[in-house]
Amino acid sequence: MFTVIYTFRVKPGKEKQFSSAWSELTSLIYQYEGSLGSRLHLDSNGLFLAYAQWPTRSTWENAGSKLPSESEEIKSRMRDACEEIKTVHELDVLDDLLYDKVSN
């Protein structure tokens, strides 16, 4: 498994626009490009962080060409909401002790 960590510095007042676009784009990447999904976080300084998991580095490196045309508008909305978008880490997973529990 391969994980990528991103940071997003979002323009003030554009948080909802960013979050919505991020969610839409992430869903398309999952559906069309073979990602294993992603989680979005917000730190105490207002910086958004996301990590995305992929089955392999090559799947991640080759992603993008299978997305439907609607993804371009979504990417544009996401870029418009951000001052900065960075890929900060590309990581090979060594051990995975993250559990998914469903609460009742």
Cβ pair 18, 78 in contact under 8 A:
yes
Secondary structure percentages of the chain, helix, strand, coil, to 5:
35, 30, 35
What's the pLDDT tens digit per position in 66-88? 999 999 999 999 999 999 999 99
What's the pLDDT tens digit per position in 31-70? 999 999 999 999 999 999 999 999 999 999 999 899 999 9
- Whole-model pTM? 0.90
Q: Could you tell me the two tokens for 18?
A: 């960013």
- Residue for token pair 């978008």: 85
For domain 2-92, the CATH class is alpha beta
